[in-house]
Amino acid sequence: MPLSSGQWQKALAAEQLQPVYLLAGDQLLVLEAADALRAQARKLGYSEREVLEVGQHFDWNDLARAAAGMSLFATRRLIDLRLPTGRPGVDGAKAITAFCADPPPDVTLLVTAMEWSSKHDGAWSKKLDASGAMVVFNSPRPDQWGSWLGARLASRGLSATPDAVALLAERVEGNLLAAAQEVDKLAVLHGEGRVDAAEMENLVADSARYDVFKLTDAAFAGDGARALRILAGLRSEGDELLALMGWLVNQLQLALRLANAADFAAQAKAEHLWDSRAQQFRQALRRAPREHWLQCLARASRIDRMVKGREQGNPWQEAERLIAAIAEPRAARALA
C-alpha cells in the first residue's frame, strides 16, 4: 500500500533507505519530497548520484547499466530516475521491475513522476511498492487547505489568524504552486511573526507589490526595457522604494551565492529554485562576472542609505541605473 504523508515523514527519518522509492503526484510536493529524500541520502553516506531523465528516446538499458556500475569513490549511490509523465511504457516497466526483483546492495533508486492517477498504476508500480516505498502526493482537499497553509507559513517563520489563512486560501483558489509562492512573498514582505487579516489583505491584494517580483524577473532575464517600465509603474503608483529594495537585495544576494558556488546546479537545488528560475540566473551570471554582482549589491546598499536620508542623491534615478546594470551589464558604467 502506498504510504500516507504522515507515514512518509516517519519513513524519511529512517536510518536506512529502501532499495526503491516512487514519489508521484503534485509537482511541488513531489519536488520537495525528493529534495528531502536526497538530503537524507547524503546524511546516510550516499555520496554519488546519477540522474536519468526519461524522454522520448530514452534507453531503458541505461537504468540497468547505472545499477550495475561500480564506483571507486562512493560506497552508496542514488539513481535519480525522472519520469515526468508517470508512464514508463513496456520497456520501462520491465526495466523497473527487473531492478526491484534484484536491487544491487548500497544502491537506491528514486523514481519521481509529476503526473499520477489510478490509470498510471500498473504491475510495475505494484512491484515497486512491494519492494520499497511509494507515496502519492495529492493537493490538499478544500477542508485541508487551512492546516496546509498554516504549516507552510510556520515553515517560513510566520503564523496567521484563522481569518487571514481563509483570505489567503481564497486568494490562491486551490493552486498549490501559487500558494507556495504567496507564502514565500509574505516571508519577504512581512518578515517573521503573526499576520492578521488586515495585513494579509494589504499584502496579497496590492497588485503593485507583485510587480516587484515581475521587476526582478525581467531584470535578471536581461529584459531591461520591460524592467524599467515596471519600475516606472511602481513609482507612479506610489510604491515605496525601500520595500522594493529589500526584495532586490534578496535576489542579488541569491545571485552571489550562485556565482560563488562550485556546483551551480547543486546550489540552485539547495535554494529550491524551479528550473526556469535557475536557468534565468544561470544566463544572468553568464552575462557578467562575480565582481559585477558585488558592485550591484554595493549600489543597492547606497540606494537604501539614500532612501533613509543617510546619503545624498536621487534614489529612484539610482534604482533605474541599477536595474539597467542588472539587465544589461554593459550598462554597468552607469554605476560610476
User: Tell me, what CATH number does 184's domain have?
Assistant: 1.10.8.60
Give me the pLDDT at residue 206, please.
Answer: 44
Residues 234 and 185 in one domain: no
CA–CA dist 331, 145 (Å, integer): 46
pLDDT at 77 over 60: yes
**Is-contact 91 64, C-beta < 8 A?**
no
Domain that holds residue 148: 142-204
Give me the pLDDT at residue 211, please.
Answer: 67
CA–CA dist 139, 127 (Å, integer): 25
**Is-contact 77 48, C-beta < 8 A?**
yes
Q: Which of 18, 13, 66, 21 is nearest to 39 (CA)?
A: 13
Residues 11 and 133 in one domain: yes
Q: Which of 86, 111, 137 is the last residue of a domain?
A: 137
Q: Which of 156, 182, 204 is the last residue of a domain?
A: 204
Count of structural domains within the chain: 3
- H/E element, 49: strand 46-53
Residues 223 and 318 in one domain: yes
Largest CA distance in the chain: 71
pTM as predicted: 0.58
Model confidence over 89-143: pLDDT tens digits?
999 999 999 999 999 988 999 999 988 888 888 999 999 999 999 999 988 887 8
DSSP letter at 20 equals E
Q: Which of 189, 204, 219 is the last residue of a domain?
A: 204
Residues 40 and 113 in one domain: yes
pLDDT at 183 over 50: yes
Residues 214 and 327 in one domain: yes
Residues 299 and 253 in one domain: yes
Give me the pLDDT at residue 334, please.
Answer: 46
Give me the half-sphere count of Cα atoms (radius 13 Å) on the Cβ side of residue 161. Answer: 10
> Can you tell me the mean pLDDT for 4-22?
90
Residues 212 and 241 in one domain: yes
Residues 324 and 233 in one domain: yes
Residues 185 and 83 in one domain: no
Model confidence over 226-251: pLDDT tens digits?
899 889 888 877 778 988 898 899 99
User: Percent of the chain scored above 90 by pLDDT?
Assistant: 53
CA–CA dist 151, 158 (Å, integer): 9
**Is-contact 133 21, C-beta < 8 A?**
yes
Give me the pLDDT at residue 71, please.
Answer: 61
CATH number at residue 301: 1.20.272.10
Give me the pLDDT at residue 209, please.
Answer: 44
pLDDT at 170 over 80: no
> Can you tell me the mean pLDDT for 196-202?
85
Enumerate the β-bridge partners of residue 194. Answer: 159
Q: How is residue 227 written as a grid cell? A: 524592467
Give me the half-sphere count of Cα atoms (radius 13 Å) on the Cβ side of residue 219. Answer: 29
Residues 151 and 110 in one domain: no
The set of residues, in sequence order, having a beta carbon less than 8 Å from that of 237 and lying 6+ positions away, is: 208
Give me the pLDDT at residue 277, please.
Answer: 81
Residues 126 and 13 in one domain: yes
Residues 89 and 14 in one domain: yes
CATH number at residue 18: 3.40.50.300
CA–CA dist 82, 77 (Å, integer): 16
> Can you tell me the mean pLDDT for 196-207?
73
Please state, in angstroms and as integers, the Cα–Cα distance from residue 178 to each residue in 2, 149, 173, 200, following that order. Answer: 27, 11, 9, 15
